[in-house]
Structure 1
């Protein structure tokens, strides 16, 4: 049986390190997904079509990271994405479907509240790594992902709610640090 294991990280570098460790442990690149806010999103005029060569520039020449692309996500802005979640997002964008990260995460098996949390985390600059793992490798995958100090979900949700957040809003402008 396969299950989805997802963790959020404060920065792209941490998520990238997790992906590298997962691949080194033998997890197939096709079972790993990475979504993260493009670091230059606030001052970059790139569009989704310019993502073809971004993998080598942002963080990898082999495995999953070599397939990174740039997608424009409503409410988030440009994100780097790779893996099966990226394929779901790209398909939704090409078909004009709504749902973005929320739809991709719920179709991957996450509950709606978790999907909203992950979407907001990416919106605010974090990165999400999601793995489809066989039950036999789930403990090792969790150990690798948890060893990289993922965001404490409950503490972060409390922080978001304290600022008035209740759920991800894809019609909102992309988050800008320091904006009021």
Structure 2
């Protein structure tokens, strides 16, 4: 049986998390889903006074998201990727990304994130687009599985507002 990968970009981590939850509600295997995002710890205040309570409330929201989504997805890592910066990865994509980092450390061409995405089954041009989206603050949702599972996931990702959605056969 061929393995496929479906991917989509979301503008917010809450939208990415909601899409993964919808896939789970539809009976898709969440253990095969991953979310990749950056800057989850940053909080911006435009003007005014800030108190420790303000910071705690903002951090609690980030902590709730990280805890909630990590509870759904198998495996999680916080990594510092050269050229990308801090990256939080939840799901089975962690192993592929770590392999990409090892390859980059050994002098492989291209960035570690792009290498990890290509190793996961995405085409290089799509991986480059996704790296750019992640650097810009978007979140990438990935899921691997059978053609039927990934086709169903693609429909859900689209219905949830995913952008730049792709469905590809791994290794082809």
Q: How many residues align?
A: 142
Report the counterpart of residue 168 of structure 1 in structure 2.
none
Please list, as runs of the form range in 1=range in 2, the aligned pairs for 1:75-154 lying within 5 A after superposition: 75-93=83-101, 96-97=105-106, 99-152=111-164
Secondary structure (helix, strand or coil) at the match of 2:163 reads: coil
Equivalents in 2 of 1:57, 1:109: separation in Å? Answer: 27
Please list, as runs of the form range in 1=range in 2, the aligned pairs for 1:163-178 lying within 5 A after superposition: none
Secondary structure (helix, strand or coil) at the match of 1:35 reads: strand
Larger Rg: 2
Equivalents in 2 of 1:151, 1:113: separation in Å? Answer: 16
Normalization by structure 2: what TM-score? 0.70
Equivalents in 1 of 2:148, 2:20: separation in Å? Answer: 19
Cα deviation, residue 57, structure 1: 5.5
Cα deviation, residue 29, structure 1: 2.8
Cα deviation, residue 59, structure 1: 4.4
Equivalents in 2 of 1:80, 1:67: separation in Å? Answer: 11
Equivalents in 2 of 1:57, 1:16: separation in Å? Answer: 8
Unaligned runs of 5+ in 1: 44-53, 154-180
Is the 1:41–1:78 contact (alpha carbons within 8 Å) kept by the matching residues of 2?
Answer: no
Please list, as runs of the form range in 1=range in 2, the aligned pairs for 1:14-25 lying within 5 A after superposition: 14-25=15-26
Is the 1:71–1:90 contact (alpha carbons within 8 Å) kept by the matching residues of 2?
Answer: no
Cα deviation, residue 10, structure 1: 1.0
Runs of 4+ in 1 over 3 A off after TM superposition: 54-57, 91-95
Matched, 1:62 2:71: yes
Equivalents in 1 of 2:151, 2:164: separation in Å? Answer: 19
Report the counterpart of residue 35 of structure 1 in structure 2.
36
Note closer, same or farther for the CA distance 1:57–1:141 as it changes in structure 2 (3 Å cut): closer
Higher relative contact order (CA 8 A, sep 6+): 2
Secondary structure (helix, strand or coil) at the match of 2:140 reads: strand
**Structure with the bigger percentage of strand:** 2
What do residues 58-117 of structure 1 show as CA deviations (whole Å, max 9, x unaligned)? 2416320x7433111111111110122222223443563553110111112211111000
Equivalents in 2 of 1:109, 1:55: separation in Å? Answer: 30
Equivalents in 1 of 2:115, 2:93: separation in Å? Answer: 10
Secondary structure (helix, strand or coil) at the match of 2:161 reads: coil
Report the counterpart of residue 27 of structure 2 in structure 1.
26
